[in-house]
A and B are shown apart, each in its own frame.
Chain A
Amino acid sequence: MTKIQTGLRINGADHRLEADPRTTLLDALRHHLHLTGSKKGCDHGQCGACTVLVNGRRINACLALACMHDGDEITTIEGIGSDESRSALQEAFLACDGFQCGYCTPGQICSATAMLREAADGWPSHVSPDLNGPVTLNAREIAERMSGNICRCSAYSGIVDAIGQVAKGGVK
Chain B
Amino acid sequence: MGKHEPADLTASAIKGGVASRQRHDSAHKHVTGTAVYIDDIVEPKGCLHAYLGLSTVTHGRLRGIDTGLAMKIPGVVAVLTADDVPGVNDISPTGRDDEPVLADRVVQFFGQPVFAVVAETRDIARRACRQVKVHYEELPAIVTYEDAGDTPKLVCDPLTLQRGDVGRALEAAPRRLSGDMRIGGQDHFYLEGHIALAIPGEDGDMLVHSSTQHPSEVQHMVAHVLGEANHSVTVDVRRMGGGFGGKETQSNQFAAIAAVAARLTGRAVKIRPDRDDDMTATGKRHDFLVGYDVGFDDEGNILGVDFTYASRCGFSADLSGPVTDRALFHCDNAYYWPAVKAVSVPLYTNTVSATAFRGFGGPQGMVGAERVIEEVAFATGLDPLEVRRKNFYGDAGRDVTPYHQTVEDNVIARIVDELEASSGYQARRAAIRADNAQGGVIRRGIALTPVKFGISFTATHFNQAGALVHVYTDGSVHLNHGGTEMGQGLYVKVAQIVAEEFQIDIDQVKITATTTGKVPNTSATAASSGSDLNGMAAQAAARTIRERLTDFASGFYEVPADQVTFLPNRVRIGNQEIPFAELVKQAYVARVQLSATGFYKTPNIHWDRDTGKGRPFYYFAYGASVSEVSVDTLTGEYRVERTDILHETGRSLNPAIDLGQIEGGFIQGMGWLTTEELWWDGKGRLRTHAPSTYKIPLASDRPRVSNVALADWAENREDTIHKSKAVGEPPFMLGMSVFHALSDAVASVADYRVCPRLDAPATPERVLMAIERLSRRARTDEA
Q: Is the CB of B486 within 8 A of A101?
A: yes
Among residues 187 to 218 in chain B, which have CB atoms less than 8 Å away from a CB atom of chain A? 188-193
Q: Is the CB of A155 within 8 A of B660?
A: yes
Whether A78 contacts B32 in the complex (CB less than 8 A), given A103-B241, A150-B698, A156-B667, comes out as yes
Report the nearest A residue to B666, measured CB to CB.
Answer: A154
Q: Which of A2-10, A31-39, A64-72, A128-136 is found at the contact surface with chain B?
A: A31-39
A49 at the interface (CB under 8 A from B): yes
Q: Is the CB of A154 within 8 A of B691?
A: no
CA distance A152 to B696 in the complex (A): 8
Q: How far is the CB of A165 from chain B (nearest CB, A)?
A: 14
Among residues 455 to 513 in chain B, which have CB atoms less than 8 Å away from a CB atom of chain A? 486-489
B224 at the interface (CB under 8 A from A): no
Whether A104 contacts B191 in the complex (CB less than 8 A), given A43-B274, A99-B27, comes out as yes
A46 at the interface (CB under 8 A from B): yes
Q: Is the CB of A97 within 8 A of B24?
A: yes
Q: Is the CB of A46 within 8 A of B690?
A: yes
Interface size counted on chain B using CB atoms at 8 A: 57
CA distance A36 to B275 in the complex (A): 18
- Tell which of A78, A94, A151 touches B33, judged by Cβ atoms closer than 8 Å: A78
Cβ contacts under 8 Å, B147 to chain A: none
- Tell which of A38, A102, A147 touches B700, judged by Cβ atoms closer than 8 Å: A147
- Tell which of A20, A39, A155 touches B664, judged by Cβ atoms closer than 8 Å: A155
Report the nearest B residue to A160, measured CB to CB.
Answer: B699
Report the nearest B residue to A20, measured CB to CB.
Answer: B123
Q: Is the CB of B488 within 8 A of A100?
A: yes
Report the nearest B residue to A99, measured CB to CB.
Answer: B30
- Tell which of B31, B241, B663, B698 touches A94, judged by Cβ atoms closer than 8 Å: B31
CA distance A41 to B37 in the complex (A): 12
CA distance A157 to B705 in the complex (A): 11
Q: For the complex, would chain A's binding face be called helix, strand, loop or mixed by DSSP majority?
A: loop
Cβ contacts under 8 Å, A76 to chain B: 33
CA distance A140 to B706 in the complex (A): 12
Q: Is the CB of B32 within 8 A of A81?
A: yes
Q: Is the CB of B190 within 8 A of A37?
A: no
Q: Is the CB of A101 within 8 A of B31?
A: no
Q: Is the CB of B33 within 8 A of A37?
A: yes
Among residues 68 to 98 in chain A, which have CB atoms less than 8 Å away from a CB atom of chain B? 76-78, 80-83, 86, 90, 93-94, 97-98
User: What per-residue 1/0 map shows which CB atoms of A131-164 lie under 8 Å from chain B?
Assistant: 0000000001011101101111111111110000
Q: Is the CB of A152 within 8 A of B191?
A: yes
Cβ contacts under 8 Å, B123 to chain A: 20
Q: How far is the CB of A168 from chain B (nearest CB, A)?
A: 17
Q: Is the CB of B699 within 8 A of A38?
A: no
Q: How far is the CB of A154 from chain B (nearest CB, A)?
A: 4
- Tell which of B241, B244, B664, B706 touches A102, judged by Cβ atoms closer than 8 Å: B241
User: What per-residue 1/0 map shows which CB atoms of B316-353 lie under 8 Å from chain A?
Assistant: 00000000000000000000000000000000000000
B291 at the interface (CB under 8 A from A): no
CA distance A160 to B699 in the complex (A): 8
Cβ contacts under 8 Å, B33 to chain A: 36-38, 76-78, 105-106
CA distance A149 to B696 in the complex (A): 11
Cβ contacts under 8 Å, A16 to chain B: none
Among residues 38 to 72 in chain A, which have CB atoms less than 8 Å away from a CB atom of chain B? 38-44, 46-47, 49
Q: Is the CB of B34 within 8 A of A37?
A: yes
CA distance A38 to B699 in the complex (A): 20
Q: How far is the CB of A53 from chain B (nearest CB, A)?
A: 13
Cβ contacts under 8 Å, A143 to chain B: 698-700, 702
Give the interface centre of B32, B34, B123, B664 by most chain A CB atoms within 10 Å.
B32
A109 at the interface (CB under 8 A from B): yes
Report the nearest B residue to A98, measured CB to CB.
Answer: B31
Q: Is the CB of A156 within 8 A of B242?
A: no
B558 at the interface (CB under 8 A from A): no
- Tell which of B242, B274, B489, B699 touches A142, judged by Cβ atoms closer than 8 Å: B699
Q: Is the CB of B37 within 8 A of A103?
A: yes
Q: Is the CB of B35 within 8 A of A46?
A: no
Cβ contacts under 8 Å, B59 to chain A: none
Whether A102 contacts B239 in the complex (CB less than 8 A), given A37-B33, A39-B192, A143-B700, comes out as yes
Cβ contacts under 8 Å, A154 to chain B: 663-668, 697
B175 at the interface (CB under 8 A from A): no
CA distance A158 to B704 in the complex (A): 14
Q: Is the CB of A44 within 8 A of B28?
A: no
B656 at the interface (CB under 8 A from A): yes
Report the nearest B residue to A41, measured CB to CB.
Answer: B191
Cβ contacts under 8 Å, B665 to chain A: 154
Cβ contacts under 8 Å, A159 to chain B: 699
Among residues 10 to 43 in chain A, which have CB atoms less than 8 Å away from a CB atom of chain B? 20, 30, 34, 36-43
- Tell which of B191, B275, B668 touches A101, judged by Cβ atoms closer than 8 Å: B191
CA distance A32 to B682 in the complex (A): 43
Q: How far is the CB of A133 from chain B (nearest CB, A)?
A: 20
Whether A41 contacts B488 in the complex (CB less than 8 A), given A99-B30, A150-B191, A150-B696, comes out as no
CA distance A82 to B35 in the complex (A): 12
User: What per-residue 1/0 map shows which CB atoms of B661-699 lie under 8 Å from chain A?
Assistant: 001111110000000000000000000001110001111
Cβ contacts under 8 Å, B663 to chain A: 154-157
CA distance A105 to B704 in the complex (A): 23
Q: Is the CB of B37 within 8 A of A39?
A: yes
CA distance A82 to B26 in the complex (A): 14
Cβ contacts under 8 Å, A20 to chain B: 123
Q: How far is the CB of B422 from chain A (nearest CB, A)?
A: 18
User: What per-residue 1/0 map shows which CB atoms of B27-57 lie under 8 Å from chain A?
Assistant: 1111111111101101000000000000000
CA distance A33 to B660 in the complex (A): 34
Q: Is the CB of A94 within 8 A of B23?
A: yes
Give the interface centre of B33, B36, B37 by most chain A CB atoms within 10 Å.
B33
- Tell which of A34, A42, A144, A157 touches B706, judged by Cβ atoms closer than 8 Å: A157
List 27 contacting pairs A-B, 8 Å CB cutoff, sorted by A. A39-B191, A39-B241, A42-B275, A44-B275, A44-B276, A46-B692, A82-B32, A83-B32, A93-B30, A99-B30, A99-B31, A100-B487, A100-B664, A101-B192, A101-B241, A103-B487, A140-B700, A143-B698, A144-B700, A147-B699, A151-B191, A152-B242, A152-B244, A153-B242, A154-B665, A156-B667, A157-B702
Residues in chain B within 8 A of chain A (CB atoms): 2, 23-24, 26-37, 39-40, 42, 123, 188-193, 239-242, 244, 274-276, 486-489, 656-657, 660, 663-668, 690-692, 696-700, 702, 704, 706
Instruction: Please give 20 more A-B residue pairs, beta carbons under 8 A apart, in addition to A46-B691, A93-B30.
Output: A38-B33, A41-B193, A44-B275, A49-B191, A76-B33, A80-B32, A99-B487, A101-B190, A102-B27, A103-B191, A104-B191, A105-B30, A142-B699, A143-B698, A143-B699, A150-B696, A151-B191, A153-B487, A155-B663, A157-B663
Q: Lowest 5 A-B CB distances belong to which pairs?
A: A37-B33, A101-B487, A103-B241, A102-B30, A77-B33
